[in-house]
Amino acid sequence: MEYRRLGGTDMDVSVIGTGGYPFGPPLLGQDETTAVVHRAIECGINFFDTSDVYGGGQSEDFLGNALAGKRDAIYLSTKFNLRDLGGQTPRDRIFARCEEALRKLRTDRIDLFQVHYASPEVPHEELLGPLDDLVRQGKVRFIGNCNTASWRWLEEIETSRANNMAEFQSTQNHYSLLYRHAELELIPFCRAYGRSLLAYFPLGGGWLTGTYRPGEPYPEGSRAAKVPTGIVTRLRSERVERLVPQLEAFAGERGHTIAELALAWVIAHPEVVLALTGFDRPEHVEVNVKAVDWKLTQEDLDELDALTSWWEGRNAVIDSPTPPPRPDVPR
């Protein structure tokens, strides 16, 4: 396993992280969750991420149970949101959510407490003030964003610095060979400010595992069949169905699977501290961890860049005054 420093923290996290979305109904029961968590730790994975809305609201409970006796071996992340406050103040919601998470996860601290979605109507001070208090109390070690934009993140950093408050060290955003939008501004921002991107859906919600086939219905028992409103359904398009066989061929010619390619490509970007994957079975852990050993060459990256570029037009690089030319890609 490879480990990287998360932002400006003291946490060296595994480049493959475990996402808690499958833990709980309708996907995994407690015994299945425990088997996955224990196998992940055995394989060197030390970062586990969950949320109060995963697994029908039971993911934190299941993960907390699975980590009994193993808490000090891992880093633990969970989330809160400030939507639909229902009369609560942001401070009340944040503190209540923290206490609930500590109880459900059976722990005395959260290593990374993340705001799940941006809430533009909430002033930065009302978001960051309570989080800073939780850090000072020792209940939260570090704080992070999810689903954010670089401009909003910079405003939050400036607010933190003006008020001597804890700063967001990372953001968890969608990033994969099929969805490369983080390259537009988030990755350059992380590079410039020493922050980290936690990539979720690095396997394209399953499209980059070989589970789903172009032009075919979702297999019985698959995650897309159980959760038909999920990312697999949203990503399905002519472009994705065209790219999947091409990426399978690219990986196969080099003796690897498409899943290994997807993860190796994401973690080839140094600004990405880890790729979050949701394991349904212990054997999936072993398959995904193999990707760490594949170091893509610059030639590989150039070919994949040309193959999967999502931007229409030529020279579509905004972070350089002299963008390199990109080859024409057949469409």
Where in the sequence numbering do the catalytic residues fall? 54
DSSP 13-55: EESEEEE-TTBBTTTB-HHHHHHHHHHHHHTT--EEE--TTGG
Q: Tokens 């934190």: give the residue.
A: 60
DSSP 119-131: -TTS-HHHHHHHH
User: Are 173 and 182 in contact, with CB atoms under 8 Å apart?
Assistant: yes
Q: How far is CA 204 from the centre of its chain?
A: 11
SS3 97: helix
Cβ count within 10 A of residue 17: 26
Which residue type, as a one-letter code, is found at position 281? R
Q: How far apart are CA 296 and CA 251, in angstroms?
A: 11
Which residue type, as a one-letter code, is found at position 136? R
Q: How far apart are CA 132 and CA 157, in angstroms?
A: 12
DSSP 190-251: HHHHT-EEEEE-TTGGGTTTTSS-TTSPPPTTSHHHHSTTSHHHHH-SHHHHHHHHHHHHHH
User: Are 37 and 18 in contact, with CB atoms under 8 Å apart?
Assistant: yes
Beta bridge partners of 79: 114
